[in-house]
Amino acid sequence: MAERKPIESWLTDMDGVLMHEGIPVPGADTFIKRLRESGKPFLVLTNNSIYPPRDLHARLARIGLDVPVDNIWTSALATAQFLDDQRPGGTAYVIGEAGLTTALHDIGYVLTDHDPDYVVLGETRTYSFEALTKAIRLINAGARFIATNPDETGPSAEGALPATGSVAALITKATGREPYFVGKPNPLMMRAGLNAIGAHSETSAMIGDRMDTDVLAGLEAGMETFLVLTGLTRSEEIELHPFRPSRVVDSIADLVELI
């Protein structure tokens, strides 16, 4: 195997890597500080589409992680960029929160329930039966079905919560139409993020806590991949997958020395 080039830019997942249930992972603050001091391009990624980057910046700052707004990349931003490339100035019926609606407004999309080009599904704290019924009927009438990410569950202090993937499955069952998922593990989200910071996959690394999204997305985008064991994946689960990360470490603190 050819030796990889030195890492010049970094992409890292947020939940399970930098923080866990709202608490910073030991060493995450040092990692971010070292990245900013190095001047190397980096992005903090999340498949969660609920919050705009400014809100995520504030949430991270409250726990001691100073990540600039421009260094935050969400599935909502990736979805908006994808739709802007596919059908500029289009229309969409959206199920989601401010992170998604703001991203779509910013690219000039009109949000409507009257004959939209797309039905766009993202996370929300309260999935409405009325909204889901409307989405099903619009898709049956010809709207294209887009989902921000395929995550079936999300974390909370009380346990797992249903996420976009689970709700998308409900809509698919009712319509027979599969959505196009923009977020991880779709390498589209990673490549768009790399383009946003002027980075190249052969000199970039992806850090994540999930084999099925973070590591897979990094692998398919051509990046070096690091799996941390501070999130959802246990070490004994790695061999259950037909692919492997470039390296497994206990936490992001073990990667500070590589910057």
Q: What residues are labeled active site? A: 13, 15
Report whether 178 contacts 145 (CB < 8 A): yes
The closest alpha carbon to 255, from 1, 42, 22, belongs to 42
- C-alpha–C-alpha distance, residues 43 and 36, integer Å: 11
Q: What is the pLDDT of residue 84?
A: 98
Q: What is the pLDDT of residue 181?
A: 98
Write phi, then psi, for 110 (nearest 5 degrees): -100, 130
Residues of the chain with pLDDT under 70: 1-2, 155-157
Q: In sequence order, what are the residues at sequence separation of 6 or more whose Cβ sits closer than 8 angstroms to the Cβ of residue 43?
A: 10, 11, 12, 71, 72, 73, 193, 196, 197
Q: 0.85 exceeded by the pTM?
A: yes
Q: In sequence order, what are the residues at sequence separation of 6 or more whose Cβ sits closer than 8 angstroms to the Cβ of residue 172?
A: 145, 178, 179
Place of tokens 């994946």: 233
Q: What is the pLDDT of residue 154?
A: 74
- C-alpha–C-alpha distance, residues 151 and 166, integer Å: 7
- 73-103: pLDDT as tens digits: 999 999 999 999 999 999 999 999 999 999 9
